[in-house]
Amino acid sequence: MGNGMAVIIDGTKISQDVRGEIRGEALRLKDDRGVVPGLAVILVGDDPASHIYVARKEKACAEVGFLSREYKLPGDTGEAQILDIVGQLNADDTIHGILVQLPLPRHINPDSVINAIDPKKDVDGFHPLNVGRLLTGNPFHTSCTPSGILELLDRYEIDIQGREAVIVGRSNIVGKPLALMLLARHATVTVCHTRTRNLPEVTRRADILVAAAGSSEMITGDMVKDGAVVIDVGISRLPAGKLVGDVAFDQVSEKASYITPVPGGVGPMTIAMLLKNTLHAAKNFT
């Protein structure tokens, strides 16, 4: 490869396929057992981006026949009140997934809230029990963005086993869980971050390169090996308003064998995986 012909991984199409399958499975679950998957979303404050994300999640639930319930709380809501709602949702048999939209206002400790969620309903996969179970194998739920990346690799029949995977970014929601998932699939995994020395030298080793740094177009053509699979998680808006990823798409697509675009790559998969986790909870934990 490396002949300027990278296959563009179509996350929009794959996410539609996945949501179609989930809709079918949800219908069967209702017919067979009378169970309708239910997702509760807690949103505190008036962060505009969070409101957009929550609206998308609700719409996605409706499209696959799930029940969704939203709690839109004012920014000055106390932690005790949020913990109280989480406690009620943990005990509610019609709710299989609980999602607390992050970031929370500063006076609320996100760890306290996440720790209060029943791990079997923690469809974001952020509870320490789910993180620990991912580390040792066999989690109830795994973080949605990394799961979406694996789904894309699998649907494009891209080999993982034995290959060099390099991840740029070590956050708890993307880089670290992705490293564990790729390790479980027998990749040789390297995780890079802001203090990595000679980043281009490391990224050039990658057969599978995942950029999750949140730094616009930082992965340039010279940082990518010919024929690499390049997955771009980053989303940034340039001053002129254009949405870009962490990968300089034009340069890198001339060297890569496969590449995800921004938008339309990893992004659409995240919500699809949230639905998948909610379905999983409804099927297995009711």
Nearer to ligand NAD by C-beta: 86 or 168? 168
Q: How far is the CB of 242 from ligand NAD (least distance, A)?
A: 14
How far is 133 from 72, CA to CA, in rounded Å?
A: 31
Closest by CA position to 124, among listed 277, 269, 286: 277
Binding residues for ligand NAD (CB under 6 A): 145, 168-171, 173-175, 192-194, 196, 199, 212-215, 218, 233-236, 266-267, 270
Nearer to ligand NAD by C-beta: 89 or 211? 211
Task: Compute the residue count for the chain.
Answer: 286
Read off the tokens for 193.
């971050």
**Phi, psi for residue 253 in degrees, rounded to 5:** -65, -15
Read off the tokens for 197.
């020395």
Nearer to ligand NAD by C-beta: 30 or 170? 170
Is 231 strand, coil or helix?
A: strand
- For the question of residue 57 being annotated catalytic, the response is yes
> What letter does residue 236 receive in the DSSP assignment?
E
Closest by CA position to 255, among listed 281, 277, 227, 280: 227
Q: Are 129 and 269 in contact (CB under 8 A)?
A: no
Nearer to ligand NAD by C-beta: 40 or 191? 191
Q: How far is the CB of 20 from ligand NAD (least distance, A)?
A: 20
How far is 252 from 223, CA to CA, in rounded Å?
A: 9
Single-letter amino acid, residue 65: G
Nearer to ligand NAD by C-beta: 29 or 179? 179
Q: Which entry of 122, 124, 207, 232 is annotated as an active-site residue? A: 124
Nearer to ligand NAD by C-beta: 118 or 122? 122
Q: How far is the CB of 248 from ligand NAD (least distance, A)?
A: 13
Single-letter amino acid, residue 52: I
Give strand pairing partners of 210: 167, 231
Residue with tokens 């986790």: 277
Q: How far is the CB of 161 from ligand NAD (least distance, A)?
A: 25
Q: How far is the CB of 153 from ligand NAD (least distance, A)?
A: 15
- For the question of residue 124 being annotated catalytic, the response is yes
**Phi, psi for residue 151 in degrees, rounded to 5:** -60, -45
How many H-runs (helices) and E-runs (strands) does the chain carry? 10, 11
Q: How far is the CB of 169 from ligand NAD (least distance, A)?
A: 3
Catalytic residue numbers, as ranges? 57, 101, 124
